[in-house]
Structure 1
Amino acid sequence: MTHARHGGTQRTTGAPRWLRILLPTVLIVLWFTAGSIGGPYFGKVSEVSTNDQTSFLPASADATEVQAALDGFREGDDIPALVLFTSADDITDTQRAGIDDAVDGIAALDGIADGTSPAIPSEDGRAIEVFVPISGDSEVGDVVEALRAQLADAVPAGVDVFVTGPAGFTADLTDAFAGIDGILLLTALAAVFLILIVVYRSPVLPFLVLGTSVFALCTALLTVWWLAKAGVVLLNGQVQGILFILVIGAATDYSLLYVSRYREALRDHEKRWDATWAALRGAFEPIVASGGTVIAGLLCLLLSDLNSNKALGPVAAIGIVFSVLAALTFLPALLLACGRTSFWPLRPKFGSEHRVHASTSDDAAVPTTGLWGAISRLISRHARIVWIGSTLLLLVASLGVFQLKADGVAQSDLILGTSEARDGQAALGEHFPAGSASPVYVLTEESDAAQVIGVLEDTPGLDSVQVLSNDSATGTADATVTDGEAVFTAPAAGPPGTPAAAAEPTVDGGRILLQATLDDAPDSSAAEATVRQLRADLVAAVSTHTPVGGVTATAIDSNDASIHDRNLIIPVVLAVILLILMLLLRSVLAPVLLILSVVVSFGAALGVSALVFNHVFGFPGADPSVPLYGFVFLVALGIDYNIFLMTRVREESMRVGTRAGVLRGLAITGGVITSAGLVLAATFAALGVIPILFLAQIAFIVAFGVLLDTIIVRTLLVPALSHDIGQAIWWPSKLARGRVEPEHAHKHVA
């Protein structure tokens, strides 16, 4: 049976009935099975994820080397918490007794390791600090929460208590990420559902599309969970949140492209099976190409020095793979089963006109009605003005990039909203050296101890020097240099005036571990300057490698690695995506122009974001990896819309010529690409519900950038530029010379 219309021919496949029933049934059952197994893993992510910042450093970093060596100097992998008691006036004897009782009760809590330090009063008499080790085998967040609750009830009147230090900040980060598999998903899904309802005015289709996205996410999470369990990939809250949003957004985008093709095909084909295959033929190439560009861009993160960037690459790429598979298998099977009912009550009727044909029976004519008809007329009459004006607008917006502060932020600023650890850190600096909760660690050969201690004592910004020792109840001994020799003494155990006893440092592999207290908060710029100076002085004074670690060193190494990654990976991503576009469009000029358009759009998004961050939200700055992540997502995802547009433009250009093909391609894809852009912007904006500075910034940059790509770049800039250039846009292919292969000359894919 044939049905000739719009220069095309409807063809039946002749597939047997059993195959038309069995194939979609098998696909639906497989996806339901995988999704049902993967669904419960949302509640098990914490079993394979970590938020320890040092685990994401490059293997070559000094801070990583020191962190790995710590296990040789102390039992277990305990995380220190600092409990700070403060009072507006001098702490009385009665209050001191109450504080001692509260500290004594800490040992009974689950997850508290042995080695809680004695209470250490401040010189001003208005504060007391206690170091409490949290067992590394426990859930740090839960232990700190229980510790805070017990101390709040036990602290005497007139005394405030804070739990801060590394364990306190880890607990606050864990709490901030707590809504990532609940609030985040519900917010994203609700936003997408509302957009789909408004766009398609169907109560059925949104469930099919969102079902596709959710099952893709469940299957991706199942795969990632087991890979993380085996140690193949690294998972943390940041990667987890991006994975959720990326899969929901990308799978929905790819699904919308298929839905658009399927709706067209139902008008051209009477049988659902024939419409399905026609839609797959039309949607397969752009969906696979779009997914391929995102996957390629994400895998470029494997070139990163920073392990947190490396972690995101394969995890997010796995999510995109399942997004593509779901859009090309699960959704077609669902729509085949539902047929035209999927679009109820606006069911596409067989033989009805496509919107692009509504104004004329001439197949080569461009649309003249509706929004896309108006945009098509604007471009056809004033193409050069449109693309030049759009480009200038984006370039002006890009000027804000010079105000972007992406050189790192303090650990205490990572959490938006309240943070007891941050408040405690501020209070600590009023009574003790601000860095006492997070010392600087220096790993040195035992033979170099005197030289290294001398450098530490002479470095401005460091308060005291100690060595890890098993001869002291506190686990440390004071370290000084006398007559050119290193001297180690345990803290006096008796009444004041008792002479200090000699101590032996803990030695592991011929090395000892020194620690120094910072005068400044460990996440401050002053502390970073101190550690950088210390490293430079050690290189000059000590002939052997002497790595420096700790919280401040970790932040320094992370920022340095992020800057290196940004400068390396951005050009690589551009080159890889450019190559993919050349293969897809069989052209050199068009891909180059598309890449340039997306780069200009990224610059505009980053420029506007910088102004908003500085003058609207008042953010303290940004991590160096924020521009890198924003670039990877915007270029890889933003190019999707140009792929959706230009693959259809190329298809139409083969039939009616380039300039008419540009206008027809814009009109045909206008609605679906706009819908996809709104969906992706809404899903990334949902990241803003997680009170983490990095995620909030990525949410705004990507959401705003996607809207720029959708509304300006894909709607005005690229079509107008392509229309102005004409068929030369396809150089050096035959299409650039007005010649196409005979078998494609009159081809029209539904």
Structure 2
Amino acid sequence: MRLLARIETGRVSAIVVLVIALAAVGALFALLPSGGSSAVPASGAPASSQSAKVTALLKKFPGADQTAALVIFSRTDKPGSSTLSAADKTAIAERVADLAAESTTPQAVRPQFSDDETTALAVVPITKETDAEKIAEQAKDIRATSRDSLPSDLQAQLTGPLGFQSDTANAFAGADVRLLLITAGIVALLLIITYRSPVLWLVPLTVVAIADGLARIVVNAIAARFDIAADASILGILSVLVFGAGTNYALLLIARYRDELLSQPDRRQAMRTAVTSAGPAILASGSTVILSLLTLLFAQIAGNRALGIACAIGIAIALLFALLVLPAALVVFGRGLFWPFVPRVREKSAHAARPTVWSRIGNGVVKRPVVVAIAAVAVVGILSSGLIGAKIGLSQTDQLIGNPESVQGEKLLSKTFPGGFGSQTSVLAPTAAVDEATTIAEKTTGVSAVRAGASSGGRTELQLTLSGEPQSQRNFDTISELRQRYSSGGGAVSETMVGGTDATALDVNTASAEDRALLIPLILAVVFVVLTLLLRSLVAPLLLIASVVATFFAALGAGNWLFQNVFGFAAFDTAVVLYAFLFLVALGVDYNIFLSTRAREERALLGARGGMLEALTRTGGVITSAGVLLAAVFVVLGVLPVVALAQIGTIVCIGVLLDTLVVRTLLVPALAFLFGERFWWPSRVPVNARS
């Protein structure tokens, strides 16, 4: 770290570092492909699951490249309640005839009327697409055709596979630009407030913005090369993470640099001290996040693995820019960057003598550590109680915010066509046992219809209609029962497999639960090892990890209460718990690293209690600023109308604020004051330490 500090702060070498960095970035921008992913977020069921095997086998069947657009017609005054007139039915028949002309199988497209004659349904087979732009174009054409010359008192809504894919793709349309602009705007505003300077904020923001742009290009290039599903949701989380973590590292470095400028006339020497002092904490913090993200490579869900790779690359680039490019840029521009509050050496005594908010908080905690610790634990416990009654897993209609057209159509479809047209379940049975497989399906509760499909490779497809809402627990129970009956059937029928959209969602839920059971302990082990090596203690890492885990449960509880009582979300999305744990533990431990490494540094002169008090006084302001900034940045995920991202952003925001304002400010110092030197066991007491 000392050698790096000398290189990036020299009179000539600092400029050389910036020139080389800019040249390298420019070359990568020019040489690597810059196009973003246009794929709709995939389901990502493990390859070993029945649904994935069925999907792979169906690719060899006739019509494997087809999907369906479901268009439901109803009156605009009372959809699903107002009876269709003869004129309405005539107009609908004309629209369906035009839809048939756009279908891959026109003869199969016919209007179907509900028993109460309040709605009409057209199932339109079309070519299956995976590119978001092509899906949007298909949906646009279907909507235009179904609504062309339709009377004003009739409406046509697109739902089913194409409708949901279209609305999901639309949710991410322009997400890159929106997330980038809003995130950059929030970071700029908070940096201006933090530094109270019209110019200083430009340097860290520019450095982090370049790091984000480079990270996205590198991730897209690697994803294209190795066929990694880096979709729009992953790239959105990547940007938020790079901006949040990168700005946090910049805040810590600049705060230490400013402190050193108050005591050293040479700005280059001040930056060398800042890099050698704050650099190890920043490196440890970034390494913890990177290693935690890389644990996702052990996940079964492809999306989890893709997120781990993408975000690990992003944090690595943000870390590189924070430790290499930012110090050189700050040194080149000099003290004037802090204008109008330029730090001067003569200000040191006045600065040191003036009591701060954080010194007062620290003194209050050191006087009553037991009371403070109990109060902080009580707050965490009360918030954690919000987890009572929490559920994991959203139905298809609950996954998008804003009640889009596909959701409205699906709800109307479920109400007026209880047979379940929106649910696609495919059963692949050995052709020799197809009759037995059909009988089992017909006798299974929750299966409303069974239709024989095509055959290929010794297997025959049975197309099942389930009676429950797509991706609902009712349908999941039906699929589980089907699989159990087939596996215990004996003979050839035991080789029957159940797939389709609902089965895929069930397999994703199962794999996600297994991923959580494996990865959460693994992440904790990684964090513990990093903290142990950094702090050279066994007690401190255990207490710090316990504090961030408690913060996670409190944030999850508070989030669950908000989701159920304010936002109306039925449950946590499948991926939310793991992602929230990952970000809160990996990023939350950052602030404890910043605090504890400074406390360990001050311990050499002031002892365990005095060192922690000094560390809280010195780092309280910058860590709080970093926490508020990171919390605000994660809220940006709520800009996209996707429940999963809104939940992740909300939970991480609550957790970071709780960690910053309560756990790191009150609970951790209180524990350190209570344990004293035992906090650092088995590390020895420094010779020069004062009690």
Give the TM interval when normalised to the shorter protein: over 0.9
Mapped partners of 2:419, 2:510: distance in 1? 24
Give the conservation status (yes or no) of the 8 Å contact 1:122–1:128.
yes
SS of the equivalent of 1:415 reads coil
| Counterpart selection for 1:517 from 430, 442, 465 | 465
Question: Structure 1 residue 512: deviation in Å?
Answer: 1.3
Q: 1:378 to 1:116 in 2, by over 3 A?
A: farther
Mapped partners of 1:27, 1:564: distance in 2? 42
| Counterpart selection for 2:71 from 83, 96, 103 | 83
> What's 2:367 paired with?
381
Give the conservation status (yes or no) of the 8 Å contact 1:25–1:333.
no
> What's 1:477 paired with?
none
Mapped partners of 2:614, 2:71: distance in 1? 67
**TM-score with structure 1 setting the length:** 0.85
AA matched with 2:489: A
Give the conservation status (yes or no) of the 8 Å contact 2:136–2:169.
yes
| Counterpart selection for 2:398 from 413, 416, 420 | 413
Give the conservation status (yes or no) of the 8 Å contact 1:522–1:552.
yes
**TM-score with structure 2 setting the length:** 0.92
> What's 1:27 paired with?
21
> What's 2:57 paired with?
69
SS of the equivalent of 2:108 reads coil
| Counterpart selection for 1:507 from 440, 455, 461 | 455
For residues 82-121 of structure 1, the aligned pairs below 5 Å read 82-87=70-75, 91=84, 94-106=87-99, 113=104, 117-121=108-112
Question: Structure 1 residue 551: deviation in Å?
Answer: 1.6
Mapped partners of 1:712, 1:123: distance in 2? 57
**Residue 546 of structure 1 pairs with residue 496 of structure 2:** yes
For residues 333-348 of structure 1, the aligned pairs below 5 Å read 333-348=328-343
> What's 1:591 paired with?
541
> What's 1:631 paired with?
581
Q: 1:355 to 1:710 in 2, by over 3 A?
A: farther
SS of the equivalent of 1:273 reads helix
Mapped partners of 1:540, 1:424: distance in 2? 38
**Residue 711 of structure 1 pairs with residue 647 of structure 2:** no
| Counterpart selection for 1:446 from 416, 428, 431 | 431
Give the conservation status (yes or no) of the 8 Å contact 1:34–1:218.
no
Give the conservation status (yes or no) of the 8 Å contact 1:682–1:703.
yes
> What's 2:568 paired with?
618
> What's 2:356 paired with?
370
**Residue 171 of structure 1 pairs with residue 162 of structure 2:** no
Question: Structure 1 residue 14: deviation in Å?
Answer: 13
Deviations 1:391-412 (Å, cap 9, x if unpaired)? 2221232222223222x11111
**Residue 129 of structure 1 pairs with residue 137 of structure 2:** no
- Deviates most, 98-107 or 156-165: 98-107
AA matched with 2:376: S
Deviations 1:440-471 (Å, cap 9, x if unpaired)? 10011111111101111112222222122xxx
Mapped partners of 2:566, 2:657: distance in 1? 19
- Deviates most, 271-280 or 310-319: 271-280
Give the conservation status (yes or no) of the 8 Å contact 2:17–2:325.
no
Question: Structure 1 residue 238: deviation in Å?
Answer: 2.4
Q: 1:429 to 1:643 in 2, by over 3 A?
A: same
Mapped partners of 2:27, 2:505: distance in 1? 43
Give the conservation status (yes or no) of the 8 Å contact 2:139–2:166.
yes
| Counterpart selection for 1:652 from 579, 588, 602 | 602
Mapped partners of 1:167, 1:194: distance in 2? 40
% same residue: 38
Mapped partners of 1:704, 1:563: distance in 2? 23
SS of the equivalent of 2:572 reads coil
Mapped partners of 2:350, 2:461: distance in 1? 74
Mapped partners of 1:625, 1:716: distance in 2? 31
Mapped partners of 1:445, 1:204: distance in 2? 71
Bigger Cα Rg: 1
AA matched with 1:517: T
Give the conservation status (yes or no) of the 8 Å contact 1:24–1:337.
no
- Deviates most, 307-316 or 630-639: 307-316
> What's 1:463 paired with?
448
Mapped partners of 1:189, 1:651: distance in 2? 34
Mapped partners of 1:333, 1:389: distance in 2? 44
Structure 2 unmatched runs, 5+: 76-80
| Counterpart selection for 1:640 from 565, 571, 590 | 590
Question: Structure 1 residue 104: deviation in Å?
Answer: 4.0
- Deviates most, 57-66 or 348-357: 348-357
Give the conservation status (yes or no) of the 8 Å contact 1:35–1:215.
no
Give the conservation status (yes or no) of the 8 Å contact 1:563–1:625.
no
> What's 1:52 paired with?
42
Give the conservation status (yes or no) of the 8 Å contact 2:429–2:437.
yes
Mapped partners of 2:85, 2:390: distance in 1? 49
Number of aligned residue pairs: give it.
Answer: 675
Question: Structure 1 residue 106: deviation in Å?
Answer: 3.8
Question: Structure 1 residue 25: deviation in Å?
Answer: 2.7
AA matched with 1:637: L
Mapped partners of 1:676, 1:12: distance in 2? 27
> What's 1:604 paired with?
554
Mapped partners of 1:599, 1:634: distance in 2? 8
Q: 1:98 to 1:346 in 2, by over 3 A?
A: same
Question: Structure 1 residue 12: deviation in Å?
Answer: 8.8
- Deviates most, 533-542 or 347-356: 347-356
SS of the equivalent of 2:68 reads strand
SS of the equivalent of 1:436 reads coil
Q: 1:375 to 1:705 in 2, by over 3 A?
A: same
AA matched with 1:405: K
Mapped partners of 1:635, 1:334: distance in 2? 31
Mapped partners of 1:518, 1:400: distance in 2? 34
SS of the equivalent of 1:541 reads coil
